[in-house]
Every structure is written in C-alpha cells, then in structure tokens.
Structure 1
Amino acid sequence: MFLECVLTLMSIFVWKNLSSACQDKCQQASTLRLMWKLILILYMMLAHGSYTSNFLLNRTEPTYLGTISYLCLGAHMQMCTFLVIAKAVNFVIRLWKKRPLKDDHTAILAIVYVLSITSYGYYKVCEPPIVKNVTIPLKNLPHSLDGFTITLLSDIHIGPTVGKKQLEVAVEITNNLQSDIVVIDGDLVDGLVSQLRDAVQPLRNIRSKHGIFYVTGNHEYYTMDVENWMETIKELGVQVLHNTNVKVPADKADDNSLCFIGTDDIEADRIRYENHGMKLDTAIKGCSEEQRTILIAHQPKAAKIALQSINKIDLILCGHTHGGQMFPYIISSYLINPFYAGLYQHGDTFIYVSMGTYYWGFPMRIGTQHEITKITLVTV
C-alpha cells in the first residue's frame, strides 16, 4: 500500500507534466491528444500493476506482461527523476533571469531520454553476468588452502522477470569456473515454491568440489514461504546454512580447514519471522580457533553487526545492494548501506559485497553490472 501511494504521487506528477505536452501544436488534432493521454494512462497502469506480477504472474519463465509491467515501472522511475532534475534546472535558470526551457521541450526531452535509457538498461540485463575475479589475502591461511576458490552467486531473484533459462546460464558459468565451493547468498526467489519449483531446478546441476551452500535473503521472507523453500533447496543438493556452520574440507583437521558460517537474513528479525533471524553466536558455535572463518550473510548491515560482535571473522560475503541497480537508486544504495559494492577491509576482516547475479523487478541496469564472483583466497 505504501509503494502504491508513492507510485500514485509519481503518476500525478508525471501526468501534470506530460499530459498536455504539445497541446498548443495539436489544438486541431483532438484525436492525437486523446491517443497521447491514453498511452500515458496505459503506461502508468502497467507500472502500478508491476507488483501484482509477483503474485499473479510468477511462472517458470517470465511472462511478457510481467516484463513489460516492470519495464514501465523502471521507466516511471527514470521519467520522474528526469522531470525533477529538469524542474530544478529551470528554477536555477529563472534565478539567473534567463529564459527556461518550454514545458513542451522539456516533455519531449523527457520522453526521448526515458525511451533511450530504458532500452539501454534492458539491453544490459539481457547480457549474461560477467565473471569478476577477486583475490583476497587471508592472514594465517593454511598453505594447504592457498588458492582455495569460492564462486559467489547472489540476488538471482527468480520471479516475474527472471526465469529458468537465466538460471541455467548462471549455472553453466559457475560450473566453468570449477571452484572449490559455491555460495548462494540470498534473494534467490521472489515467489512461492508452488509457483517457481520448476524454475529453480537448474540448481541441481551445479558442480563444486566441496559443496554448495545457501543462506536466506530478505526476499525469501517476503514470500512467507521460507520453510518450504529451504526444503526444496535441500532436495536440489544445496546445503542450507540456517544459523549453522560447516567445515570445509570436511575430511581435514581444523588447522587445515575453513569454517563457513551461514546466518538468516536480518529482515527475519525485523518482521519477527518465527524461528528465524540472524543468530551469529549460535551459527559460529563449533568453529575452532585454528580455523579461518567465513561468514555468509545477505545484507551488508549484517556484516556491520558481525564486525561489532566479539566473534572473530576473517571474511564476510554479502549481496543485497545490487550496486543500486540503476540511477538514482545508486545514490540511496550507497548512502544507506555500510558497505556498497566490491571489496572492503576492516582490520583483519575482509568484506565482499556482490552487485548481484541478476536483478530485482525492473529488468534494467544503468551504471551497474550483474556479476558472478570468483574469489581466490591466498596466504599472506
């Protein structure tokens, strides 16, 4: 309801600025004016209906209607952003007592900009994820683990605009990397198991030497179907780390192994999801002081919580931010997250934040890139 209220305000703003575009030039063409207003209404109706796609249009593959609705939502965001900036520029021009842009010219520029930037953003998400290679030097890493590799997948968001074929592409890229382990760092799905069971089946084809591990993200909790998702993911051969840890390699002594710790997403704490929540003290129990510890936690805010705790963590793997996915969300994403994207160091602890394997909702990326990350641990 809150999001729809915000969208309504945006729609009113857009309507006031665009519904009368070129009215002076089209006074005699009432049919053209009517058609233009109908196009605006249809476009805004599709944008408003995008969230409904999460409930009604979740299929194994994205539907045309779901994709178009979310494209209209993304275009709506871009349109509002452009018009706000144009209004601000015109205000400054007036302060300098210069002639501002005419409303008709502003409207035409806005339409051209939105069509161009939306097409570009859609083109970017149609490309497969890039492989980002990251080398992390861990203090006191055993020499037997020098060169240990982790493939990090995050924010796949299977739902109304991401489907089985895209997951198959990600799995193929992952297998080609031949990493020691694979980590799925939350926000895998945006729907119920009953809707998306077939779409996640490619996960069973992931290959790694020492296993595949998964933790929840905030969007799993929005589905209200977390328990069923955990069982389904286990059936696909993926180990769920539900405030637990695992030793890797399992057949090695503690001083020659890593302890991978997985915690539930902190959104479970906020919405008080029963028997879920970030319980780091519980999750880390059993990890030896001789082991290097690697925490898998979806949100960078969880990384901050871990850093403020008494627990010693050598590496934290996160996702969630998408790098903002597109302007202007890049700004808010940077400001509200303690770690935005890429590699950070806090004392002896490293934090890596993925921009996401795919994207949420609107199939657009502007100024960001979806990625599959291959992390190589080296001894220092």
Structure 2
Amino acid sequence: MVIVFVLVALAVLAAVVALHHYVWRRLVRDTTRAPGPARRAGTALFVAGPLLMVAALVAERSGAPFWLQQALAWPGFLWMALALYLLLTTVATEPVRWWANRRRGPAASASPAPTAEAEQVPTAEVEPVPAVSVPATDTVVTAPVSPPAPAPSDFSRRLFVSRVAGGVVAGVAVGTVGWGTYGVLRGPRVKRVTVPLAKLPRAAHGYRIAVVSDIHLGPVLGRDFAQRVVDTVNSTQPDLIAVVGDLVDGSVKNLGPAAAPLAGLKARHGAYFVTGNHEYFSGAAQWVAEVRTLGLHPLENARTEMPYFDLAGVNDVQGASEGQGPDFAKALDGRDPARACVLLAHQPVQIHEAVRHAVDLQLSGHTHGGQLWPGNLIAAAANPTVAGLERYGDTQLYVSRGAGAWGPPTRVDAPSDVTVIELAALSA
C-alpha cells in the first residue's frame, strides 16, 4: 500500500512539473528575446508558485503550526487556482499560435537564383592575375555549418504573437481567479427551493429549513467569514437550521475562535449538525463536542421528532475509517412510516441507503458544485447529484454548493449559497 501511494504521489508530482513547464515555456520563454531580468522573474514565479502550493497542502494535512499554515495558505492555494486557469487558457490559445505562425518567413541566408536576364549582362574584362603557388597540404579546414537563422521578420512575428497570447492568458486567468475569490469572500448568497413532500401535514406547509454546508473554516476563511455566514442564515428567518458537514479544516485549538460566531445561529426549532469528511481529518469527536457548546445539536446516527416530521442525521462515510461510519438502521429504524422524514447526510452518495430506508428528503453538500470549473465534470463522475434537487424513486435529494471553499478561496461557475428549503404539503 505504501509503495502504491508513493508511486501515485510521484506520478502526480511529475504531472504537476510537466504542466508547469509547458505553461512556463509559453508565457515566459516564448515571450522574451533572451535570458534577462524578465525571464528570470517569470521563472522564479513558476518555481515558487508550485512549491508554495505543495507546502500549503502539506502544512494543512500534517498539522503544522497554525501561523505557518496561514502564511502558506493564501499564496499557495491562490496559485493552485491561478495555475489551473493559466493552463486551460494557454491550451485554448494554441490554435491561434499555430494559425499565426503557420507560414515561416524566408530564411535569412537564402539568396535569389540568377535569372536569364542577369546571365546575359556582359561583364567587364579584368586583367589576369598572376598565379601564386600555394604549398600543398594534406589538411583540409572546413568551417562549421549551422542551420540558417529565421529571418528577423519571422522572429518578430512569432514574438509578437507569443506576447499577445501570453497577455490574454494572464489577463483571463488573473481576472477569473480574482472574481471567483471575491465571490467567496463576500459570503454566500441565499437560494430558495420549494420541495413538496407527500407525507407532510397541511399545518407544515411553508416550513423553512436553512441548509448550510461546507463552510471550511481554516487558515484562509476565519471568524469574519463565519460571521457573514451566520448573518446570511439568520436573515432568512428559518424554522430550522441544518449544518450538513465540512464545517472546519483544523483543530478546535486553532479554529475554536473562528467558529464562535455559530453560537449566534437562530431558528425557531434550533440548529442541527452532522459530520462531513473533513471533520474526520480534523478530529471529529472534538468538533462534535465543540458545536454542542455553541448551541448546535449533533445528530450522530440519530433521529429526533420535530413538530411535523422526523429529522435524522448520519455520520459521514469517512467516519468508517475510525469506526464511526454512518448507521442508517440506528438513525431510521423504528420510526413512524406515516410521518415524513428529512435526513441530513453530508455526501450525496449516501442517497442509495436513504432510498432503501424510505427517507422522503435527504439534504447534502460535499461537492461544492465543482468549485472550480471544469471541476463539476469530475464531481459529476463521483456523485449522483452535483448540485440542486433531484428525485430517486420516492426520495428527493437536495445538494447545496456550500457556503465556503476548500483549498483556493475561489469559486468559478459554482457560486456559494445558503439554501432555504421551503417544504410544501401536497394537500395545501
């Protein structure tokens, strides 16, 4: 197993190096005439960027001192997003480069062939030059032959095209990452979805559940961001708040102050919490205890009866590695089948067990909606639903894109949200 992990890590590292080298060639080497300050600065950036990216990942996963995680996170994770869009935009400009450079200028060393008219021009008579004898030698000296250099006009055209393409690439990539980062830091926007439930009593028509997932408090998103999320949730005046996992990326010691604003969450029937996979990377037991002190009610494979429906929650699948995995039977068996059931489960893949246990509605997160396009394509390959509401038999699944972001504090084509689920009774 260790050998497989090392081989995979080496393969990923080799791919990262190769892709960075490709982008460096296009954006640095091809846009500079010769080694100089500009090329050296560009090369330094393409060396420091990936090193900081790897260091940020290692620091977070290894539990390095929190000040070091914070110092590395901003430049390292932002480079991760920037490198992705530099690569995608560079690849997109390749057809333009090829089209603009498909005709090469004449070789500088080439000379026109003599014409017939030129051969007919008489030449002036020249006095014969006395012959000079040269000592014979067995050594023949030949000058080295080098390939002809491209004509100045051809070189200038290629340099111009490379610089224009490089400017477009840099502008698009920086603009995309800048706008996507602003979208995360300003806080999630409210999304409203109506979900009809056949078993919901008429008295519960219009019941509002505020769903918030994937806040990802950590070395980048801290206390101020948590307060923005709390303010957004409270502004919806929900009847119930569901925090469906991936609240943090770090220990209570480091992130307890950042999570403190969650104590301000307000709903008529309280706030409930289930673990996500990142809680198990950070120490799930300590966070379950911490959120309880903040006034949230953890549902660890448990169920509670609300006035109009049953609310259940299961642990994330990552908990199985610690013997704390999801237990649907414990959470759902023995309930009144005539009552509607809403299940909190962090990952959408848990929908299949929810269907088997006749759950009416599952609320999930985890996918971030892909977070960075085209990450939605990868997320779609690993999850039954990436974002939004879908039906699986008699069970409906709603997947939130999440409020925060993991790694780069950046989202592209996957805006963050707090979703207000408004339950609708069919008899209303």
Same fold (TM over 0.5): yes
Aligned-partner Cα distance in 2 for 1:329–1:341: 12
Question: Cα deviations across residues 74-97 of structure 1 (Å, max 9, x unaligned)?
Answer: 11222233344455x479x68xx9
Aligned-partner Cα distance in 2 for 1:170–1:344: 25
Aligned-partner Cα distance in 2 for 1:18–1:357: 34
Aligned-partner Cα distance in 1 for 2:103–2:180: 33
Shift of 1:64: 5.6
Q: Given the superposition, is the C-alpha separation of residues 209 and 28 from structure 1 closer, same or farther in structure 2, using an over 3 Å criterion?
A: closer
Matches for 1:301-320 after TM superposition, within 5 Å: 301-307=349-355, 309=356, 311-320=357-366
Aligned residue among 336, 356, 378 for 1:332: 378
1:147 aligned onto 2:147: no
Contact 1:303 1:318 in 2 (8 A): no
Q: Given the superposition, is the C-alpha separation of residues 4 and 146 from structure 1 closer, same or farther in structure 2, using an over 3 Å criterion?
A: farther
Aligned-partner Cα distance in 2 for 1:78–1:373: 29
Aligned residue among 46, 54, 57 for 1:48: 54
Q: Given the superposition, is the C-alpha separation of residues 110 and 296 from structure 1 closer, same or farther in structure 2, using an over 3 Å criterion?
A: same
Contact 1:322 1:359 in 2 (8 A): yes
**Unpaired stretches in structure 2, ≥5 consecutive residues:** 1-5, 105-156
3-state SS, counterpart of residue 344 of structure 1: strand
Contact 1:160 1:361 in 2 (8 A): no
Of structures 1 and 2, the larger Rg is shown by 2
Aligned residue among 78, 82, 85 for 2:85: 78
Aligned-partner Cα distance in 2 for 1:337–1:22: 39
Contact 1:154 1:185 in 2 (8 A): yes
3-state SS, counterpart of residue 49 of structure 1: helix
Q: Given the superposition, is the C-alpha separation of residues 81 and 237 from structure 1 closer, same or farther in structure 2, using an over 3 Å criterion?
A: same
Identity among equivalent positions (%) equals 28
Matches for 1:1-380 after TM superposition, within 5 Å: 6-19=12-25, 21=27, 23=29, 26-27=32-33, 30-54=36-60, 55-56=63-64, 58=66, 63=70, 65-86=72-93, 89=95, 104-105=162-163, 106-223=165-282, 225-249=283-307, 257-269=308-320, 272-274=321-323, 276-307=324-355, 309=356, 311-380=357-426
3-state SS, counterpart of residue 376 of structure 1: strand
Shift of 1:7: 4.7
Q: Given the superposition, is the C-alpha separation of residues 351 and 21 from structure 1 closer, same or farther in structure 2, using an over 3 Å criterion?
A: closer
Contact 1:50 1:73 in 2 (8 A): no
Instruction: Provide the alpha-carbon RMSD of the alignment.
Output: 2.6
Contact 1:182 1:212 in 2 (8 A): yes
Shift of 1:268: 2.1
Shift of 1:144: 1.8
What amino acid sits opposite 2:86 in the alignment? M
Aligned-partner Cα distance in 2 for 1:199–1:188: 11
3-state SS, counterpart of residue 220 of structure 2: coil
Aligned-partner Cα distance in 2 for 1:4–1:110: 29
Q: Given the superposition, is the C-alpha separation of residues 17 and 355 from structure 1 closer, same or farther in structure 2, using an over 3 Å criterion?
A: closer
105-114 or 336-345, which deviates more: 105-114
202-211 or 33-42, which deviates more: 33-42
Contact 2:31 2:166 in 1 (8 A): no
Aligned-partner Cα distance in 1 for 2:190–2:332: 30
Aligned-partner Cα distance in 2 for 1:4–1:322: 28
168-177 or 13-22, which deviates more: 13-22
3-state SS, counterpart of residue 115 of structure 1: helix
Aligned-partner Cα distance in 2 for 1:357–1:30: 45
Contact 2:199 2:338 in 1 (8 A): no
Question: Cα deviations across residues 81-129 of structure 1 (Å, max 9, x unaligned)?
Answer: 3344455x479x68xx956996835544432332222112112212221
Shift of 1:17: 3.6
184-193 or 19-28, which deviates more: 19-28
Contact 1:185 1:297 in 2 (8 A): yes
67-76 or 364-373, which deviates more: 67-76
TM superposition score normalised by structure 2: 0.78
Aligned-partner Cα distance in 1 for 2:339–2:301: 18
What amino acid sits opposite 1:234 in the alignment? R
Shift of 1:12: 2.8
Aligned-partner Cα distance in 1 for 2:26–2:337: 69
3-state SS, counterpart of residue 10 of structure 1: helix
Q: How many residues are matched?
A: 361
**Unpaired stretches in structure 1, ≥5 consecutive residues:** 250-256
